Structure 1
Amino acid sequence: MHPMLNIAVRAARSAGEIINRSAENVGRLQINYKSKNDYATEVDRMAEQEIIRIIKAAFPEHAILAEESGEHEGNDYVWIIDPLDGTTNFLHGFPQFAVSIALKLKDRLEIGVIYDPLRDELFTAERGGGAMMNSRKIRVTAQANMTGALLGTGFPFKNLQHIDAYLGMFKALSIDTAGIRRAGAAALDLAYVAAGRLDGFWEIGLQPWDMAAGVLLIKEAGGVATDFTFGDTYLDSGNLIAGNPKMHQLIYKAIEPHVTDNLKKKTR
């Protein structure tokens, strides 16, 4: 295993242990309101601190972009961390949340790890090395049309200015598919696309830590990820379409009439 991937895996598993231990005492946790429908708990902070501790011990010169503590200056290597993607799910005992860690060198994603501590499912990818789940190679599906396709998404609940555009997209995609799932943890949704559990995914207004690791997983599993203009600015715009190559094109074609001028710009 690549040394940096090994560190990311160690950090993700260690954070997962903190999350699992805390899951039995959710009612006692201190909850902070960050913004509309956006919460953080002491578990988010403890898990993030543990991830940063492990990374900094191995690579003290690397920079960090973390959901709770923000930017930590360093060199051209940037670790992008979501210590608990799906905090609202976690607080409600809804079993869909994960740790997400990615490493970017300048503008190129190098390492991606998503860890589901409840199911002990570890998704890993390194640039040029393929994607794995618990040491088994994974690939995106071969689904070639909307009929029978299963898609993932997330509602733009933090920023309702795009709700009409989103509902237009949802309607356009729901007509022919087998179903659309909204489980509330984008990192896991993207890991599921890479593993062939979902055929495609789209969402408005994601943060870099929500999707960096998942995007690399999908690309290394043979899939495609772009923004709403078929470009690669998703980490900046927050808008993402992902899936196997054919499903990606079909999702893009279906939602394109509903992509407003504002959605072609940064939406966060």
Structure 2
Amino acid sequence: MLTLTTLAQQIRQIAFAEILPRWRQTPVEIKTDGSFITAADLAVQNRLMAVLRDHDPYIPILSEELPAAEQSSLLAAAINGKRFWCLDPVDGTSNYACGFPYFAVSLALFTAGRAQLAIVFDPVHDECFTAERGQGAWCNGQPITPFAPSPLLTNALAMIDLKRLPAARLAPLLTNNTFRSQRNLGSVALDWCWLAAGRYQLYLHGGQRLWDYAAGRLIATEAGVTSALYARDGTQSFNDLDLMPRIAIAAANTNLFEQWQSFVNLPLETA
């Protein structure tokens, strides 16, 4: 039986076999959208898809590295409530390709349009984050929870993805001392997990897709993080079953989230 624990163990084995031995050893290719892909991405995808199909060949698998037409077809079927796996073989490929030790395997199981199970495995630090809807979130089997040093934004550490934010919004975000300090590490799945584990307090990302946030956001939610996804026009998104990029805003608790959301002041685009 493929339980959350046994699946996490298999992901760990695949990551140690396919990702770490290739780190700083494999050439990089550039996809049509300008992002990186490596042999590790494809090796993890192929091996993990084989594991999932062996368990149940009737559950489709949506992976970041599949052709766009195939991704759209899988999501179209899922709109009717069909279960599917959502996989990012190496979330943070740019980090991986450039030697920065912050990347992970991300996998979520969707049922009736919502993520139900989640696994994010960080092979560099040997940390496996897991969650099951309504049951909580864990790191290496231990429960995790967010942390905030105080109820004030000025004492909070913010993870902000700068690349996808409009240039006109960067100066107001970064120069008025609203929060303690800013980080930007480059793996959406791990960003959510580190927020869940209490390693920072505020999160803002201007363009993540389903495979980026599917597993990590469930882990964060089950840990107790408050979050919301938005379209570029600032309207809140309640639909996970498309591939449109989402703005993500999150915080360690509801009080900080309300302050942070007010400060960010959607929409991000300016006239």
When the two structures are superposed, what TM-score results if normalisation uses the length of structure 1?
A: 0.85
Deviant stretches of 4+, over 6 Å: none
Aligned residues: 253
1:1-268 matches, within 5 Å, as 3-6=2-5, 8-17=7-16, 18-23=18-23, 26-27=24-25, 29-35=26-32, 37-70=34-67, 71=71, 73=74, 76-142=82-148, 143-156=150-163, 162-164=165-167, 166-167=169-170, 170-171=173-174, 175-228=177-230, 229-233=235-239, 236-243=244-251, 244-256=253-265, 259-260=268-269
Distance (Å, rounded) in 2 between the aligned partners of 1:8 and 1:207: 23
SS of alignment partner, residue 16 of structure 1: helix
Q: Would the aligned equivalents of 2:28 and 2:97 in 1 still touch at CA under 8 Å?
A: no
Q: Deviation at 1:141? A: 1.9
Separation in 1 of the partners of 2:83 and 2:4? 13
What is the alpha-carbon distance in structure 1 between the residues aligned to residue 157 and residue 208 of structure 2? 20
AA matched with 2:65: E
Q: Percent identity?
A: 28
The 3-state SS of whatever aligns with 2:48 is: helix
| Closer/same/farther in 2, CA of residues 250 and 93 from structure 1, 3 Å limit | same
The separation in 2 between residues aligned to 1:186 and 1:36, in whole angstroms, is 18
Does the CA-based 8 Å contact 2:227-2:257 persist in structure 1?
Answer: yes
Aligned partners of 2:166 and 2:269 also within 8 Å: no
Amino acid at match of 2:66: S
For residues 168 and 61 of structure 1, do their structure 2 counterparts lie closer, same or farther at Cα, with a shift above 3 Å needed? farther
**What RMSD in Å do the two structures reach over aligned CA positions?**
2.5
Q: Does the 8 Å CA contact 1:154/1:203 hold for their aligned counterparts?
A: yes
Q: d(CA) in 1 for partners of 2:152 and 2:237?
A: 22
Q: 1:110 & 1:258 partners in 2: Cα distance? A: 29
1:52 and 1:202 map into 2 onto residues whose CA distance is 31
Q: Distance in 2 between matches of 1:176 and 1:36?
A: 34
Q: For the residues of structure 1 that align with 2:250 and 2:218, how far apart are their CA atoms?
A: 11
Amino acid at match of 1:171: L
Q: Distance in 2 between matches of 1:182 and 1:225?
A: 18
1:30-62 Cα deviation digits (max 9, x unpaired): 322114551101111001111111111112111
Whichever residue aligns with residue 170 of structure 2, its letter is L
